[in-house]
Structure 1
Amino acid sequence: MRARDKAAVSALRGTLSALDNAEAVPVDETAPRAAALEASPVGAGATEAVRRELSEREMVDVVRAEAAERLEAAAHLTAPAHADRAERLRAEAAVLLRFLDGAEGATEAEGTAKGA
Structure 2
Amino acid sequence: MHPEPLRDRLRAALPAALKSRDRATAATLRATLAAIDNAEAVDAGSARAGAIEASPVGLGVAEVPRRELTEADVAAIVQAEIDEQRRAAETYDRSGHAAKAVELRTAAETLAGFLA
- Same fold, judged at TM 0.5 (above): yes
Number of residues of Structure 1 aligned to a counterpart in Structure 2:
98
Gaps of 5+ in 2: 1-16
C-alpha distance in structure 1 between counterparts of 2:110 and 2:58, whole Å: 44
Percent of matched pairs sharing the same residue: 47
Q: Does 1:79 align with 2:95?
A: yes
Residue type at the aligned position of 2:99: D
TM-score (norm 1): 0.75
Give 1:26 shift.
Answer: 2.0
Tell me the TM-score normalized by structure 2: 0.75
Which residue matches 1:50? 65
Which structure has the larger Rg? Answer: 1
How well do the aligned residues superpose, as a CA RMSD in angstroms?
1.6
- Structure 2 residue 71 is matched with structure 1 residue 93: no
Name the CA distance, whole Å, in 2 between partners of 1:21 and 1:12: 14
Task: Tell which deviates more after alignment, 59-68 or 19-28.
Answer: 19-28
Distance apart, 1:46 and its partner CA: 2.2
Find the counterpart in structure 1 of residue 54 from structure 2.
39
Residue in 2 that maps onto 1:65: 80
- 1:17 aligns to what? 34
Q: Deviations over 1:21-71 (max 9, x none)?
A: 111122232x5x342122223333221111111111111000000110011
Q: Which runs of 5+ in 1 are unaligned?
A: 102-116
Tell me, in whole angstroms, the C-alpha distance in 1 between the residues paired with 2:30 and 2:112. Answer: 15
